[in-house]
Structure 1
Amino acid sequence: MGDAAARDGAGAEPIRVLIVDDHALFRRGLEIVLEQEEDILVVGEAGDGAEAVSRAIDLLPDIVLMDVRMPRRTGIEACTSIKEAVPSARIIMLTISDEEADLYEAIKAGATGYLLKEISTDEVSTAIRAVADGQSQISPSMAAKLLTEFKSMIQRTDERRLVPAPRLTDREIEVLKLVARGMNNRDIAKDLFISENTVKNHVRNILEKLQLHSRMEAVVYAMREKILEIQ
């Protein structure tokens, strides 16, 4: 399944969602909420990280809504496995706490979103649509902590650059700057007067060159290398 842009228009395919949480009541609550959305289809659920991986392989969801802390395999461990087995799946991690360590591990594992379970039902569906459209989502309460960590990361690495950064083309740097500003592929295409497919190719090349797994990791890289300045 492609970006949400591919779903525009009548007869478009809904966003396929897999719900993963070790609490059946929470899973059912999410399912009831999402069933009200015409453009979102819950295709399955799982109760732990190990089951999440097998269900993702079987169902090929567009979005995986997954709790961070679960038995058998944690959500972060499952995130890594799902991204390897089903690269097209985009993963939104859910948590009851705002532990920074979990957030950073989730980003490294390839998660595209990270939300607190206390968010409203409307915010869940909005986040699913945004992530399906190629954007990253993070709970506002975590944004400041993440920015602080980015600044700390820059300070720690300023004097430890032993290996030259991979060479990006001027166009790739332009695209990376816009990715780091949170723009989706469609908006980047408009800004640079190129096709959306060309943007997708550039983003894929950037991630491959930098050996990164997600757009969120690309943002971290852009800030660390001062491609995007933090005010």
Structure 2
Amino acid sequence: MADGFGPTMPAGSRGGTTAAVRGTGRFERPEPVRVLVVDDHELFRRGLEIVLQTEEDIEVVGEAGDGAEAVEKAADLLPDIVLMDVRMPRRGGIEACTAIKEVAPSAKIVMLTISDEEADLYDAIKAGATGYLLKEISTDEVCAAIRAVADGQSQISPSMAAKLLTEFKSMIQRTDESKLVPAPRLTDRELEVLKLVATGMNNRDIAKELFISENTVKNHVRNILEKLQLHSRMEAVVYAMREKILEIR
């Protein structure tokens, strides 16, 4: 398929059970990442499927044309990643995101859309999406994002990251302070890591910025999530902004 995407998203770092293949830039996995492709445009779905199937470590296990079908397929196939559009007939991607998390809790959902609306971005994250990518990105970047999300990273197009931070700031201003509850205390280093996560940095870039190892960054992120009793990096940033644990000006 000719790229219906254009450049921009930084690729996430990889870790966990993956291992770099010397000189190839690829990562070996025990099993390929199983992907469900959801989009109401059949030509786009089929083109994306063709591209993804050329990747040895990615397997397209199914496709759906709307959110309602996506929920059914997710329950049946239990994919690792659901790559889904936001606006679709019958049932939109954001509504489907919430339902998919119920029937396939282990599935990670990445929105791949033309919508650059702040409301869609924020609602997608609240509904449980782990990534939000614009369709202008390249096919190589889509593949990199799938691998990164499968390895525990959150992925978001840079232009949308800026809008997300703006929404965080507005959310703080709207928050009724009388309803806030004491938050678990994070260490100074954990706060540093969380602030960099909030800017959209991946683990590798955070490690370079703080002059620490990538494994140390992963440990800090894991500790942050455990302390806040959350499941993803994006949830941690939203929580921290809401509770005024950190400020981004």
Contact 2:113–2:134 at 8 Å: present in 1 too? Answer: yes
Contact 1:16–1:42 at 8 Å: present in 2 too? Answer: yes
1:206 paired with 2:217, answer: no
Equivalence for 1:49: 67
Deviation digits for residues 30-88 of structure 1 (CA, Å, limit 9, x no counterpart): 11111121211111111111111111111111111001011221100110011122221
CA distance in structure 2 between the partners assigned to 1:178 and 1:219 by the alignment: 11
Deviation digits for residues 120-173 of structure 1 (CA, Å, limit 9, x no counterpart): 11111111112112221111221222222222222222xx112232541546x8
Amino acid at match of 1:19: V
Q: State percent identity of aligned pairs.
A: 68
Mark the CA change 1:192 to 1:20 in structure 2 (over 3 Å): closer, same or farther. closer
Mark the CA change 1:199 to 1:136 in structure 2 (over 3 Å): closer, same or farther. closer
Tell me how many residue pairs correspond in the alignment: 221
Superposed CA RMSD: 3.0
Give me the TM-score of the superposition, normalised by structure 2: 0.76
Amino acid at match of 2:33: I
Contact 1:53–1:81 at 8 Å: present in 2 too? Answer: yes
Instruction: Give, in angstroms, the shift of residue 201 of structure 1.
Output: 7.0
- The equivalences for 1:42-191 within 5 A come to 42-157=60-175, 160-170=176-186, 175=190, 178-182=193-197, 183-184=202-203
Mark the CA change 1:152 to 1:28 in structure 2 (over 3 Å): closer, same or farther. same
Moved more, 162-171 or 127-136: 162-171
**1:14 maps to which of 27, 32, 40:** 32
Contact 2:29–2:57 at 8 Å: present in 1 too? Answer: no
- Name the structure, 1 or 2, with higher relative contact order (CA <8 Å, separation 6+): 2
Give me the TM-score of the superposition, normalised by structure 1: 0.81
Instruction: Give, in angstroms, the shift of residue 180 of structure 1.
Output: 4.8
Moved more, 198-207 or 136-145: 198-207
CA distance in structure 2 between the partners assigned to 1:44 and 1:204 by the alignment: 33
Secondary structure of 2:179's counterpart equals coil
Structure 1: runs of 5+ lacking an equivalent:
none
Structure 2: runs of 5+ lacking an equivalent:
1-13, 21-27
- The equivalences for 1:28-39 within 5 A come to 28-39=46-57
Mark the CA change 1:123 to 1:49 in structure 2 (over 3 Å): closer, same or farther. same
Amino acid at match of 1:6: T
CA distance in structure 1 between the partners assigned to 2:168 and 2:221 by the alignment: 25
Mark the CA change 1:87 to 1:11 in structure 2 (over 3 Å): closer, same or farther. closer
Equivalence for 1:5: 16
Mark the CA change 1:195 to 1:228 in structure 2 (over 3 Å): closer, same or farther. closer
Q: Give 1 or 2: higher helix fraction.
A: 1
Amino acid at match of 2:59: L
CA distance in structure 2 between the partners assigned to 1:8 and 1:47 by the alignment: 34
